[in-house]
Structure formats: structure tokens, C-alpha cells
Structure 1
Amino acid sequence: MRKPFAVPDWNSLARLDDASLPLLGTALLIARDEYPDLDPDLYDTVLQAHTAHLREEVEALEHWPLKMQAINRLLFEELGYAGNHDEYYDPRNSYINEVFERRLGNPISLALVQMEVARRLGVPLDGISFPGHFLVRLPVDDGVLVMDPFNRGRPLDVDELRQRARPHMGGDAPDDDVLHQILNPASHRAILMRVLRNLHGVYSDGGDWERAVRCADRILKLSPDDPEALRDRGLGYLELGHRHGARHDLGLYLQRSPRATDADAVRDRLIGLGGGSTRLN
């Protein structure tokens, strides 16, 4: 009898190193905040079906790019997974259960599906925390093959990668060394934190401060020393009227990041709460 698919506990995540942090299990844990009745086994079974459909074909192929081509064909052509271009900021694009159900997602959630299928088939597909849209990478003989899961796994050449990075780097295209650094594999922790940051951005922009605070709090479960999440949770508490929580988080943020570009603005908000200026200085 197959064991139930294991979903970790939030309080255990900070103790796990990046390699031990379960990618799918934690993505389902994030989704369970919004969908408390979701069944993790159901989505593990969906992935098992995708994998079983491909296994014989993929194992018969010799080269990684051909294996990846077969995986992309199944996911994006036969099964219909696609980037949600029309409603990019729909929060459902970030919840992995909804991605499986609707076959719609954003770059990072589609990458997660792609990575899970590939890895279960022995294909070493990694994520890239690329500026703007999340990408994936596959080792090849002379380097890496970079693909865009939001656009049906389309391969990207060096020139397009430079152009995509340019707007996020002050208008300058990255040189070879910088581009190589950008294309380093993203850890599981970095991927999951980016999922939560995307959700935080959607909820805070929409004024849904309870959910925004929840996302910031979950980031701190993954990375307790993350200063931006501490600031975001504190500002969310402030919007919700939780003055004690706001005072604690914003004060700690300023202690840890006294030279942050927004330090003066945060300090003003904290002083307005009665946080005092002497202690902060």
C-alpha cells in the first residue's frame, strides 16, 4: 500500500537545509493556507500519472534536450498547461493545487510542475530566479539550455536573456560573468520564498492585508532572518491595526537593516506608533 504523500509542518522548515526542503510538499503547504481541505495525495497522483505516461518514451531517449522536449510536449501541448497571460496576477496562479486543476499558472508555478515531472524521470531540471519571469535550466554538453515555462517551455538564447535582464539592471545588459551568475540554479528555499513574495505582492496591492501578513509570516517560517519579510509583516500589521506586532517587526527590521533605502520611511511610521526615536538611533 502506498504511503500518503507527506506535507511538512511550517515549524520544521527553518531547520531544514535547502536540499532537504521538499519542493512540492511545501508548495502544497502554502496552498493549504488558502485551501485547507486540499488532498496532497491527489496532486501527487496527478504527477505520478504524468510521469508514468512519459517514462517509457523518456527512458528510450539518450540526450537531455530530447527528453525535455518530450516532457514539454506532454505538459504544454497534450495536457494544456499554459501561462495565464490574461489574468497574470490572479492569486490562483501561485497555488499549485489550482495550477493542476486549471492547467493555468504563472512562470514559477509552471516551472514547479515542469521540474517535478522532469526530476521524477531522472532529468536534472533546475529553476532560475531570473529577474522578471522565473525560468528553468537543463545541463547540456556545452553549458545550459534555458527555457521559459510561461511560454510552453520555449528555449531562450543568450541575446534574449540579456534583453530580458536589461530592464531589471538599470537599463544595462549583463555581461557574461553577471549573466552566468543570474543563471545559477535557485534553491528550493529561494523558489518557495519567491512564490510567497508573489502572493504577498498580489494581496498587498489589493489591500487584502490579512492574507498579505500571512504570506510574510510564511516567508519568515522558511527564513526567520529575512528582513524584507519582517518589514512586510510589520507594515501589514500596521494596516490591520495590530500596533504591538507592527512595533515589534518594524523595530527589528530597522535594527537589522539600518541603512536600507526605506529605513527613514519605516522609522517615521514606527515613531508615529510611539516606537520612539532614541532607541532606533
Structure 2
Amino acid sequence: MDQSAEFVASMCDIDAPLRLDRVLLLLTATLRQDPSIVEAGLSNLDRLAESCADHSRGGLVRHLFQDMGFVGDTDDYYDPDNSMLDVVLSCRRGMPITLAVVAIETGRRVGIVLDGIGMPGHFLLRDRDEPICFLDPFDGGVTMDRTACVARFHSIHGSRAAFDDRFLDPVNPRSIVTRVLNNLTASLRSRDPRKLDRLLALRVQLPLAPPELRALAELCEGRGRFEDAACLLDRLAEATRTEAAAEHASRLRARLN
């Protein structure tokens, strides 16, 4: 099974455990068309864990964000490379979510369980053994309580934005991968159309909610991927029982004749 097929199979088998590190490396291997990325990235994570002498949460944070120098990219936040786990591992710069994955997967290797927290606008971590303790991987792994998390949320969305405590609930690995996919889709649209097409070819094969089906169908149509767009609209029509999506799919297929 090649890396793209393994990625799709892993994301579609919702009852099976998902290896976050492997799946995100499969994604980047597919986009870069370099199968060697997967094993190289896993070995890189193994070495990060092996060089972590203090297997406490504080020791892990110091190791990654001080000794190893992992840092948030404040110069070019939306650079697609910041969503590519292999690049983040080698350059030690990234977005909150990919830096969080580095911490989650290094922590797993040394017996520290960190959960991803999908707060809108800024991905965080939480210590499963101390659920009131949050960490900001983009800010050197700084420790945060709920009040600090709310303040960070309002700094991003404005003081009038309503905060819901569910924003601080853990998210599962597939949700983390989906968020990385969304980030990559947005960043590749303006920077790398070729990789965007490879990404779309993967995404159309995945389980998708109606809003995702609609958004990806629109994007595929705009890229001239009419058959992919039509298939997504067929799925949308079936999921929502609406004729408009099915009719739109028929019009797109007519353009292929």
C-alpha cells in the first residue's frame, strides 16, 4: 500500500486507533511525493524522545522548547511548511497544532499523555493527569489555566466573542488531522497549486460532514476538478436530501462531455 492509500485508509477506518505521527507523515509524504519522509520522521521523533532525560511534563517542555529549540513561526505563520510535520521536525518551527503534535508524540514515547485542545483560533495542549493545566506549544509550552486560555481566545477573536468551556475539551487524533488538512488547504490555495491538487485528491476520499462537502466541492470546481466536485455534491445531496446539490453535480458532469 502506498502512502496516499495508507493515509486514506487510516482516516476512513474510524473504529481503529490512529497513529497521529504516522498519519501526518503519510500526508506530507504524499504531498511531497517522497515515501522516505515517513520513516525519517518517525526516527526523528524517536531520537527526540531518547534524548529527553527528564520524563516529567516540565522536563518534556524544557527539552522540546528550550533545549531543542522548537518555536512558533511568527514571521510567516501561514507558510504551508508550518503544517508539514516533517519540516517542523527538521526546522523546529511551526504552527500551534504541529508543534502540539511534536509534543504529543514525543510525550507518548516517554510515558507522558498530552491531549490536543482544539480551541478555535489557537491549538493548545492539556496534561491528561492534571486536566486544569493547559500548555501553549506556540509560546514555548507556557503553562496556562482556564483564565489564561479565555484571555488568549479573546485576544484572537475580540473581547465580545462568546467563550464556551467546550472549547477546552480534548479532541481526538482524527480531528487533529482534519484541522491540519484545513490549514493546509487554506495555505496551499495561494502558494502551491500543485500540492493543493494532490491534497484535494486525498480529501475527496475521506468522510466529510455536509459543510466540508460543500466547501470542498466549491474549491474543486474552482480548480477545474469537475468530476471530484460532482462526486462531492452527490454525497452532499444524499446527506442533506436536497435536489439542488444533485442538479449542480449533473451540470458539472455535463461540462466533462
SS at match of 2:52: helix
Structure 1 residue 159 corresponds to structure 2 residue 142? no
Aligned Cα root-mean-square deviation (Å) = 3.2
Give the conservation status (yes or no) of the 8 Å contact 1:213–1:232.
Answer: no
Question: Which blocks of at least 5 consecutive residues in structure 1 are unaligned?
Answer: 1-5, 59-66, 277-281
Amino acid at match of 1:71: L
What's the TM-score, normalizing by structure 1?
Answer: 0.76
The equivalent position to 2:133 in structure 1, one of 126, 129, 145, is 145
User: Aligned pairs, how many?
Assistant: 250
User: Percent of aligned pairs with the same residue?
Assistant: 27
In the alignment, which residue of structure 1 is the partner of 2:199? Answer: 215
Could you say which residue in structure 1 is the equivalent of 2:78? 89
Match in the other structure for 1:63: none
- Offset, 1:212: 3.3
Deviation string for 1:29-79 (max 9, x for gaps)? 110122222332222222222212224x32xxxxxxxx1111111111111
Q: Does 1:26 align with 2:29?
A: no
Q: Give the SS at the match of 1:54.
A: coil
TM-score under structure 2 length normalisation: 0.83
Q: CA deviation at 1:232?
A: 3.3
Q: CA shift at 1:15, angstroms?
A: 4.4
**Distance change in 2, residues 1:253/1:8 (3 Å):** closer
Q: Cα gap change, 1:129/1:257 in structure 2, threshold over 3 Å: closer, same or farther? A: farther
Give the aligned residue type for 2:187. V
Change in Cα spacing, 1:105 to 1:75, as seen in structure 2 (3 Å) is same
Identify the residue that residue 173 of structure 2 maps to in structure 1. Answer: 188
The Cα of 1:210 is off from its aligned counterpart by: 4.7
1:127-181 deviation digits (Å, cap 9, x = unpaired):
111110111000345x42101101110112222222333465993443xxx31x2
Partner deviation per Cα, 1:176-200 (whole Å, 9 max, x = no partner) = xx31x22221101000011111000
Counterpart check, 1:256 vs 2:239: yes
> In structure 2, do the counterparts of structure 1 residues 226 and 271 end up closer, same or farther at CA, with 3 Å as the change threshold?
closer
Instruction: Give per-residue Cα distances to partners, 1:206-235, cap 9 Å, x unaligned.
Output: 1755533443443454x4233333223322
> Residues 1-281 of structure 1 correspond to what in structure 2 (within 5 A)?
9-17=6-14, 20-37=17-34, 38-55=36-53, 57-58=54-55, 67-140=56-129, 143-166=131-154, 168=157, 171-174=160-163, 178-179=164-165, 181-204=166-189, 206=190, 208-221=192-205, 223-257=206-240, 270=248, 273=251
Tell me the alpha carbon deviations over residues 103-130 of structure 1, each in whole angstroms, 9 at most, x when there is no partner: 1110011000001111111111111111
Shift of 1:236: 2.6
Q: SS where residue 119 of structure 2 aligns?
A: coil
Q: CA deviation at 1:250?
A: 3.0
The separation in 1 between residues aligned to 2:15 and 2:101, in whole angstroms, is 15
* Secondary structure, counterpart of 2:222 in structure 1: helix
Moved more, 74-83 or 160-169: 160-169
Q: Which amino acid aligns with 2:64?
A: L
Residues 32 and 195 of structure 2 are in contact (CA less than 8 Å); yes or no, is this contact kept in structure 1? no
* 1:124–1:28 CA distance, 2 compared to 1 (3 A): same
Ranges in structure 2 where 5+ consecutive residues have no aligned partner: none
Task: Give the stretch that moved more between structures: 33-42 or 10-19.
Answer: 10-19
Asked if the contact 1:72/1:153 (under 8 Å) is kept, the reply is yes
